Structures are given as structure tokens and as C-alpha cells.
A and B are shown apart, each in its own frame.
Chain A
Amino acid sequence: MNIFLYLDKDTWVHRLDPRTKLIGVLILFLACLCFNHPLYMAGISFGIFVLAISAKALLNFWRVRFILILLIIFSAVLWPFFVKGPTLLCSLGPFQLSRESLLYGMAMGLRLANFVAIGLILLSTTRNEEMTNGLIQLGFPYPIAFAISTALRLIPTFAGAGVTIIQAQMSRGLDLKSKNILRRVAQFIPQAVPLFIYAIRHTNLLAMALESKGFRPGAQRTFYYELHLRRIDYAVMALLGLLLLVMLILRLVFKLGAVLPYRL
């Protein structure tokens, strides 16, 4: 069973240099911070959606659909309780619900979903090794770049072990459907301890295997997949940079795209 996020397809996004993609992700993150009006945010979401289609990454979006929907719903419901806006709609005891805070909540929901979506496109189109390589070329120290990509690499492995552990404990009568919250906490231990021990064993063995193949953190190495910034990479970076600039001008100069101008 495949539980990795990387999708081995051949699209222009896949072919981009990982450095371009990492910088692009940073720019898109910043772009999401430019506005807090749901319509503007939805515009960015639409752009990301189009990007996901052209990167053939929709399968992964389908896999995390519940997370995305939950993020949007939760922040749309919760944010209005914590921010105040001028146009009061109704008040419930200490809570005041305003038009602006409602819109702001929707925008925040979309923003969180956008963050996840951008990360998802990156992970769907970039191999772990490319990511490490790209991070190093961007000036990250090798041990840090390696730690990041190792963490990403190990998540599916541990998730797989987690499933087995849960099944093993369920076979012994562990009832995960219990409603009682105290019970649920108690049930956590039979799952967490074996997983924790598995993780230690697994990483220990991995460290031995890496060292046995001559891996030295921080030492010089060659890369079988060499990185090349091509014309399209420069074009993508320039375009995204320009887009961010336009957004900043809209927000800062024309004061557009914000329901609550004093908030990010």
C-alpha cells in the first residue's frame, strides 16, 4: 500500500528545480498573509486549485479532503468569537458576533486550507532527495536539511506501524470506540508505547544502515540528480515575485482585501 504523498508524474511542476518550488512555496505563503478578506483569499485558493490540477496532485487533495474541510469549518466557526468588528450582528452574553468577524473567520479558514494545499502540492511533486538537495543549495546546513527530509520520509513508515499496532491491540479486546474520555486516555498508552519503541528501534537501525553506506552528515557529497535552474524556473520565480508585489501594493497602498485592516 502506498502511503507516500509524492506522486510520480511528469508535469511542469514536477520538472521545476526544487529550489524554485521551495522559494515559490515561501512566496505563496506570504501571499496568503496579504489579505484577510474571504473573497481575495478565495481568489488565491482558486489559483492554488488550478496549480494542483496542472501538477496532477488532486489525488492527494482527495485523500486529505476531510482535513481541509474541517480546517475551513472550524476556523469559520471559532474565529468570530475571538475578533471584534464594527458592524454588530448579534451578541450572546460576552460574545459579540459581527459581520467583519464572520468574514474574517471565513478568510482564516481558507488561509489555513491554502497553507496545507501549498505544502501538499510541494510534497506531491518533489522527491525527498530533491527537497534535501534544494534545501542544501539554498544554504541550509546539511544536517538540518537531512533531518527535515528524514522526518518527512519516516511519517508514512510510522503511520504504517501504527495501524498494525492498533490492530494488534484491538485483537486483544482494546475498544477504541469508547466514549469515556478517561478511558480513551488510558487506551492511548497501549498504542503509544509500542510505537515509541518501534520508532527508536527503527531509527537506530536506519542510522546503522546509513553509516554503513558511508553517510557522514556535513561532509561533501555528490548528487546523482543534479539541479539545474532553467529558464522556466526563473520565469516562475519572477512571476510569483511580481504577483506578491502586486498583492502587497493592493493591500498596503490601496488598502484593499482586508475586512479588518489592523489585523494580518
Chain B
Amino acid sequence: MDISISIEDLSYTYPSNRRPALQHIETQIKDEAFVVLMGHSGAGKSTLCFTLNGLVPHFFRGKYQGRVLVNGKEVASHKVTDLSRLVGLVFQDFEAQLFSTNVELEMAFGPENHCLPRSEIERRIKLYLSFVGLEGFRHREPSSLSGGQKQRLAIGSVLALEPNILVMDEPTTDLDPQGRKEVLSIADRLRGEGRTLLLVDHEPETALHADSVMLLREGELIAKGSPVDVLKNQSLLESCGVKPPPTLELFRLMGWPGSPLDLNQSIETIQSLGLAKPEKKDWEKLSLKKTKGKPILWTDGLHYTYPIYKVEALRGIDLSIYEGEFIALLGQNGSGKTTLAKHFNGLLKPTSGEVWVQGKRTKDYTHREMAELVGYVFQNPDHQIFSRTVKEEVGFGLKVLGEDSKVIERRVAEALEIVGLEGCETKVPFTLTKGERQRVAVASVLAARPQIIILDEPTTGLDIRNQKNIMDVLRQLNRKGHTIIIITHSMWVATEYTQRTIVMKEGRILSDGPTRTVFADEERLSEASLQAPSLVKLGNWLGTEALTVEGIVEEIKGRG
């Protein structure tokens, strides 16, 4: 087989940085290989992707040393546009890469740039739209598609250039579980197509089907090998900010032989070696420990219809939330999670029905009063950061609320300590990493000391280290008595941290109960296009009450 990508002693430094983004990368990728690239935030994954189609060093200049060859062509001496028929690049942000007003024009954009005749463009639109499963959507506006469909369209529009090498930079990070499945199934199908595929992803389970896995750390390529070899090295993965497959961890802690990477392998090993016995348990009887507190927020026949287009987003929500709860709000995109959460702090007002917070209707509060009761952290911290220093940013809410400067100073220091950013007071927020900016956003909501804190996708786009960081902060806050509600697509975050889970589907509540009970009903979850993580499925099979590795280990050892 021929070499498709060859990287020879590549080092690169962005013009504004002193620290190199990539250091002495040396590797080769064979034709038709499927390679998964993993690493912590800031490890250089995206930068490495950019070096393959020439965005580095043509779009981003800076210090570039070494050589990158794709199909024998040296990247640095060809323009990005010339390489575009050889190397296709799909970005994480599907909103920014879709540009046209309907699906077929989006598909046609690349071929048009290369002056292909109309009949050829037509052929490619047909072929690749059906490849990504969007034949029926030719005349739809991209903005009206779901997240998964958008990302599939982005992939299709790149495939329309028929590149030999397809590079996807975290194509599933912003997607719900359903969209993620859709995109990964395309990656699987591409394997039989004779193209080289490089995929950046955070989830170890994606890597199972790859030919090889590459690990980046601080700009260095520190491991490359078959998925099993790389993924079973737990300390190496953790040092790279990658979550080790939890089934592997379980086996290691139990002292069981073998290194299963997914659910089926695990069950097979356990059964064939008789390591533990599956048990059937009924978790329905498990009830929420309501002894904790009194109801603090409740809704009563809540309906909401978006104006102008009359989309009914919420269709009758009756729900009570108690003081001190830690709740995960799950569901596909468009199931109404965010719409519901925006009712909790009065950003949206019910079309009919009512939302009560501490015995008063949300519509009777002003936004200022609400901000002191219910904090809401938006998904993207960059939607709210505007100040010159972290201190000002975190203190902004308090200043608006009219607190005097001494109180502000004290509360800002307090909030920064909780999120672990003490000492960053005078830093410029824009220069912080994504994980740190996320924590600044949390701190800026915390400073007002709201009893209830809602977070929309607090872990999206963060590596495992940062995800654990932010979730540990939330757990601490919860223990101090705050009520925490998170909207999330990340199932492991829900199962590992929350006590109660609410699953939404098409504007209604599909299930609501203790997280253990909700995740025991795998059928009900799949009705909402959700899926329990492998570890939880294993826990269901084994009949353990715990959903974390440590908890399961303890329970099974306790059984004797």
C-alpha cells in the first residue's frame, strides 16, 4: 500500500504564541487507513489537521519547520485551494461552514469553485447526498436541518470534491447522541470507499474501529498504535486528557484478566471466565430522597409556543424541583430542554400555564431579582464575556445589581476561589483557555449567589480534565446546598454526577426520576434517541446500584 500522508519532523508555532503548537511530529499514514487522533485541549489536534490541507502555513503564518506530504505533494508549496481536491477538511462548528441557501447549492459550492461542468456537479450532488443520507433534503435550507443533518451536509459538501484524504476535526463535539451516531456511521461507511480518514474525537469508543490511534500531548505525538494497545495504557491516556474506556478501568480495579474495550467484549469475558453473575434488579422502587428540601421551583401545565412560526416547543410540563437537588435534563436537540430551562429564570414566559420560583410566578419578577435567585450559564462562555479583566467580568452582575465595591470585591474573590481561578483576577478573559473561560462564566453567575444554578451544556468542547474540573465545582456547590440543573448531551456526566434525571422528548417529559432508575430503562432512553454509556449498561446487566466505576467495584466486591 502507498503512503497517503507523510509528516517529517514538523514543528510549528503560531505567530502570536511563543510556545510551539506542534513539535517534531514524525509519522506516516497509509492509503485507505482510518486514524483517530486524540489529545487534551490545546494539544495541537486542530493545528495538525490544518497542516494537512495547507491552512497552516498559508492561512495561519508563523514558524514552520519540517515537511508535510500528501499523496507525494508538499503541502507548504501548494495553495489551500489547490489542495482542496486532495484533502477535504470538516470542522467542528457546522454552523460556520455551511454557507449556501439550500442543500444542493451547498453541495455544488466546491465543484463550482473548480469549474466542473454542470452535469458533473449534478452527478456528484446525487451521489454524495445519498451517501450522507440527505437525498430527500435537496431544496431545504441548511439552517432548518438538525445538528446531525447539518454536519452530514458539511461532510457531503466536502466529499463532493472527491478528496483522497478526509480530515474531520471533532465533527461530533457539538452534536446530540443521535447526531453523533449519524456522523460516525458515515465515517464507518467511508472506510470501504478507498479514502484515507483522519478523525479527531474525545470518546475512546470511537477509536475502537480505527486502524490506529494517535495521541497528542503538548504538541508532541507521544503514541501511535492499534486501538487496544493505545487505549489500555490508562496513565498515558490520562496524561493526554483522554478518558480511558471505563470498562477497562473496571477490569483493572477488579483485578480481572483481559482488556475489553466495549460492552460486548466485557460481558463475553465476564461470562466465559465466570467473573461475576448478572442480577436482575427492579430500580423502579428507588425513590428520590425528597427529605432534602422543600420545593423551590415548579411548573404547572406549562405550554410554550414560539412566536411568528408557531412552533410548539413545550406541550404541558408539570414538574417540581426541590432544594438541593442535582438534576440532569436530557433529550435530543429540539426536544425542548433549553426552552424549558429558559422558563426557570424567566427569560421566556409561558404561553399558558405557570412557572413558580420560591412561591412567586416568574412573570412577577424583574430580571434583576431573577438573577439573584436563579443563575443561568449559557453554553458558550464567549456569548457573555466582554470585560478587560476577569475581576470585572465576574463582578459585572453585582455591579448591575447595585452592590457596593467592597461587597463586590469579596464575592468575586469567593466565586473565583470556588471555580479554582484565584490569582487570575487581573488576567484578560479572552486570553484564557476554553475551560477557564467556562469557569469564568460560572463564577460570574455564582457571584450573585443564586440558590438555583442552571447550566446549558457545561462540558461540551472541553477535554476530560476540564470536564471533571467543572463538574467537581458543581458537585461542591450542590453539597453546599445549591440546586443544580444541567442540560447535557453527555451521558456519563449525567450518570456520574446527578441524582435525578429528566428526559424530554418533543416538548414533553418522557421520564423523570432518580438517575439510576431512568438509566435502568434502556428502551425508554432509546425512545428519546439516547443511549446509556457502556459502563451503565454493564451496571444494568450486573444489577449494581452504582453507576460509576468505583461504585460498581465496591458493590461487586461486597457481594463476595
> How long is the Cα–Cα vector from A171 to B445 in the complex, in angstroms?
8
Q: Which secondary structure dominates chain A's binding surface?
A: helix
| Those of A182-234 within 8 Å (CB) of chain B | 189-190, 192-194, 197-198, 201-202, 205-216, 219-226
| Complex interface: chain A residues within 8 A of B370 (CB) | 171
A172 touches B105 (CB 8 A): no
Residue B492, interface by CB 8 Å: no
A167 touches B342 (CB 8 A): yes
What's the nearest-Cβ distance from chain B to residue A195, in Å?
9
Among the stretches A2-10, A33-41, A67-75, A99-107, the one at the interface with B is: A2-10
Among the stretches A47-55, A110-118, A157-165, A249-257, the one at the interface with B is: A157-165
| Complex interface: chain A residues within 8 A of B109 (CB) | 213, 215
What's the nearest-Cβ distance from chain A to residue B333, in Å?
13
| Complex interface: chain A residues within 8 A of B122 (CB) | 224
| Complex interface: chain B residues within 8 A of A2 (CB) | 141, 143-144, 309
Q: Which chain B residue has the least Cβ–Cβ distance from A164? A: B383
Q: Which chain A residue has the least Cβ–Cβ distance from B454? A: A171
A174 touches B367 (CB 8 A): yes
| Complex interface: chain B residues within 8 A of A201 (CB) | 382
Whether A211 touches B80, Cβ cut-off 8 Å, given contacts A206-B99, A221-B113, A224-B108, is: yes
> How long is the Cα–Cα vector from A224 to B401 in the complex, in angstroms?
55
| Complex interface: chain A residues within 8 A of B376 (CB) | 168, 171
What's the nearest-Cβ distance from chain B to residue A139, in Å?
20
B95 touches A223 (CB 8 A): no
| Complex interface: chain A residues within 8 A of B311 (CB) | 1
| Complex interface: chain A residues within 8 A of B80 (CB) | 211-212
B105 touches A225 (CB 8 A): yes
Among the stretches B85-93, B178-186, B351-359, the one at the interface with A is: B85-93
Whether A206 touches B55, Cβ cut-off 8 Å, given contacts A167-B347, A194-B386, A222-B112, is: no
> Could you say which interface size class chain A belongs to?
35 or more
B59 touches A208 (CB 8 A): yes
Q: Which secondary structure dominates chain B's binding surface?
A: helix
Whether A127 touches B161, Cβ cut-off 8 Å, given contacts A173-B401, A209-B96, A222-B115, is: no
A224 touches B367 (CB 8 A): no
> How long is the Cα–Cα vector from A202 to B380 in the complex, in angstroms?
13
Most chain A CB inside 10 Å of its own CB: which residue of B95, B112, B115: B112
Whether A175 touches B101, Cβ cut-off 8 Å, given contacts A198-B382, A213-B110, A223-B112, is: no
| Complex interface: chain A residues within 8 A of B383 (CB) | 161, 164-165, 168, 194, 198
Whether A212 touches B118, Cβ cut-off 8 Å, given contacts A168-B378, A172-B448, A221-B113, is: no
* Residues in A lying within 8 Å of B, measured CB to CB: 1-2, 4, 6, 8, 63, 127-129, 153, 156-157, 161, 164-165, 167-176, 189-190, 192-194, 197-198, 201-202, 205-216, 219-226
* Residues in B lying within 8 Å of A, measured CB to CB: 53, 55, 59, 80-81, 84-85, 88-89, 91, 93, 95-97, 99-102, 104-105, 108-118, 121-122, 125, 139, 141, 143-144, 157-158, 161, 306, 308-309, 311, 342, 345, 347, 366-368, 370-372, 375-376, 378, 380, 382-386, 396-397, 400-401, 430, 444-445, 448
Inter-chain pairs besides A215-B109, A221-B113, 16 sampled, C-beta below 8 Å: A2-B144, A128-B100, A129-B101, A153-B99, A165-B383, A171-B378, A172-B400, A175-B400, A189-B386, A190-B386, A190-B396, A209-B89, A211-B55, A211-B59, A212-B88, A220-B115
9 residue pairs from A and B, CB less than 8 Å apart = A2-B143, A2-B309, A165-B384, A167-B342, A173-B401, A211-B84, A216-B113, A219-B81, A225-B105
